[in-house]
Amino acid sequence: METWPIERLIPSARNARTHSDAQVAEIAGSIRAFGFSNPILIGTEGDVIAGHGRLAAARQLGLTEVPVIVLSGLNELQQRQLILADNRIALNAGWDLKILHLEVKDLSLLSADLSALGFTTQELAQALASASTTGLTDEDQVPELEGNAISATGDVWCLGRHRICCGDSTDPAAVAAVLAGAAPQLTVTDPPYGVDYDPAWRHRMGVNQSARRGKVRNDHQADWETAWSLFPGNMAYVWHGALHATTVAESLTRQGFGIRAQIIWAKDAWSQSMLGKKRYLC
Burial class (CB in 10 A: 0-12, 13-18, 19+), 270: exposed
pLDDT for position 165? 93
Q: How many other β-carbons are positioned within 10 Å of the β-carbon of residue 167?
A: 18
Q: pLDDT by residue for the chain (282 residues), tens digit each? A: 899 999 999 999 888 888 999 889 999 989 998 899 899 999 998 999 999 999 999 999 999 999 999 998 889 899 999 999 988 898 888 888 888 888 988 888 888 888 888 888 888 888 887 655 566 777 778 778 777 778 889 899 988 778 999 999 999 999 999 998 889 999 999 999 888 877 777 677 766 666 666 777 888 899 999 999 999 999 999 999 888 999 999 999 999 999 999 998 877 654 444 544 444 343
Handedness of CA 264, 268, 274, 279 (dihedral sign): positive
pTM value is 0.45
What CA dihedral angle connects 22, 28, 31 and 36, to 10 degrees?
110
pLDDT for position 67? 94
pLDDT for position 212? 64
Separation CA 195–CA 221 (nearest Å): 8
Task: Give the containing element (helix H, strand E) for 248.
Answer: helix 245-254
pLDDT for position 281? 42
All domains of the chain, ordered by start, with CATH? 2-91 (3.90.1530.10), 97-128 (no CATH), 150-182 (no CATH), 183-273 (no CATH)
pLDDT for position 24? 92
